[in-house]
Structure 1
């Protein structure tokens, strides 16, 4: 379901026009599947197909990347058998090997050039290891991208026991400087899982979050702070109304020596929850701190450079736990096809 930004937000006219022109029900994709949204970037929507029967789901489901504005799509080929067999548990044992697909955002130069190519990463979390496969629309093929055992991520036995069972589908995913980050804040751990996409051979690693007690419910957001440094937004403690902004002193993918940059005071009487982040905006939901009957009090965006907070949507009937932000109007795919 697509909810356009409402006035007086400056994006409201474009959002209203998009709502009228695009097909966010994806009726232009002929299939017996029930498609569910997995990710959105650069105007592209990644869909996963669920068979509409009471069957045990396979490890690898069918995937499609579509452009709802121009009503074009690409059905991705299945993961080759030799790659699937490289997993620790290649059979449909959901408790042992879980998979999650997501898009790789385009760089600024690619967006400016109107790039029509895309990449999809399929991440598999097995009992003792992580693996990632990448699909490129340029080659039309899947390739093995990264693999690492939990024991090789420099984790202690206690951390490994707690982290390895938590699939990345559950964790919050962040993206900055060509790296993906997953945080365990919701589970009380101050760790980040990293996947570096800058080289052909992607790599997993682990980094530490800034010190302090971060809210397990309010969420955090990893952003680009400029000059190659990472920034992090989050709430100190479960009841703090103030948003903290912390920057890593070092450049590079693995942050260290975090320094508090700014504390942003938000409206009193509400609790805020970070739902999504783009290169420019954070997306929040806001709840009345004292109300139980109608707690949702709107969706808001914050510019990560100016810290300006603006209302996006305020209908209390619509609360969406997993929020995907649709921004930018992409160039159309060259054709609708199955690769």
Structure 2
């Protein structure tokens, strides 16, 4: 049977009186403009999206550069993005990017690093000479975290920056500051009654550092901070903590250590992982760990064979504690289960990965929970028989630990042994941290 065909009517039906007028044909010319007609109303960007929904959209933008471009679209967007409640929410959702590193000076990320524009703006807006500190020449940086810098007082003969690799056998004066807002807080001395637990124990080193701020802390108008002081004595280790909420120091107990462990812990680099501060005691093949919540120390064994290794501690995923060794041609990952802090008795497992890094001589000079600060010198440099009066270019990189992504930050002739990663947001999206 043939398919029925549709035959157009000879005359179109007349429109009903209540029907809307027919749409113009696609090929028909547009009607002439009416010069007397009023102009169409301006479109309001927020007409169809409420402010809370716009905030949720802006929170999903990956970088502050994207956020800045969005805020430049119109005054309404800028009003949302620059409001203090939104900035606090954005900082609680997004980890602050690496903007540079701090030693005797601030070394901002250079192009082609993605943070170079924000780092340049920060360097111009902040006072990294720290001239606002009392007796500015008498302080040296000990830690940097959450936009704050912790300084300890040193004799002028040491020079700024040198003290970070030295030891202090006394409770030195401390100050916490914000170079962007040029504010600072002087930390009161540790009272005698609080320090009584280590009296007569033979203090060998006082190491102060900043505790990470929680996401709830960062949403406050004036985010609180904590300073932790690890004290190594001849046969024990103790921990003290200062809270900006109370303005007071407290002692959180001590743990007995062998003299060999104490001596090995004197000069070790501090790491932070799984809510614990860690010190790799490579000579003893031990890992000294301080739980930042309970303020209790523990010691676990390292995998054997620590000679000539460049180890960093990291979160290895799925609740595992990891050790990353940067070798000449490989990356060796050692890991063990550490969910809920574990008991430290599980055996270490080992994986070898292809080396993603250039053929450089590497040294780890700083770290936090997400990045390593690496110093690299090309092995192509003619180390022997080189008649040049200049040394090699020394390159500084941030190694993102989760994806093992290498980010080149800075090139210098200055060979640094130790530095602090500086992370934060561009000045337009930063609030005073003190």
Instruction: Give the TM interval when normalised to the shorter protein.
Output: 0.7 to 0.9
Match of 1:6 among 110, 114, 120: 110
Structure 1 position 192 matched with structure 2 position 287: yes
Query: Can you give the 5+ residue segments of structure 2 that lack an aligned partner in the other structure?
Result: 1-104, 159-167
Residue 43 of structure 2 corresponds to which residue in structure 1? none
CA RMSD, Structure 1 to Structure 2 (Å): 2.5
Aligned counterpart for 2:180 among listed residues 60, 69, 72: 69
Helix, strand or coil at the partner of 2:224: coil
Q: Given the alignment, which residue of 271, 275, 285 partners 2:365?
A: 275
The reply on whether 1:165 has 2:263 as its aligned counterpart is yes
Map Cα deviations across residues 201-251 of structure 1 (whole Å, 9 max, x no partner): x211111123444534xx322122333322221135xxx232223332342
Q: Which residue of 2 aligns with 1:285?
A: 375
- Paired residue for 2:353? 263
Q: Is residue 2:223 matched to residue 1:223?
A: no
Q: Which range is displaced more, 45-54 or 33-42?
A: 45-54
- The answer to whether the Cα contact below 8 Å between 2:226 and 2:243 also exists between their aligned partners in 1 is yes
Counterpart contact for 1:66–1:74, Cα < 8 Å? yes
Kindly state the Cα deviation for residue 267 of structure 1 after the two structures are TM-superposed: 4.5
Residue 255 (structure 2) pairs with residue 148 (structure 1): yes
Which residue is 1:97 aligned to? Answer: 204
More helix by share: 2
Alignment of 1:182-331 (within 5 A): 182-185=279-282, 188-199=283-294, 202-213=295-306, 215-216=308-309, 219-235=310-326, 240-253=328-341, 255=344, 256-267=346-357, 269-289=359-379, 291=381, 292=383, 294-315=391-412, 317-329=413-425, 331=431
The reply to whether residue 80 of structure 1 matches residue 187 of structure 2 is no
- CA distance in 1 between partners of 2:334 and 2:321 (Å): 9
Q: Distance in 1 between matches of 2:276 and 2:222?
A: 20
Shift of 1:73: 0.6
Larger radius of gyration: 2
Q: Distance in 2 between matches of 1:70 and 1:287?
A: 36
How many aligned positions are there? Answer: 308
Cα contact 1:241–1:270 (8 A) shared by 2:
no
Superposition deviation, residue 89 in structure 1: 3.1
Distance 1:10 1:112, change over 3 A: farther
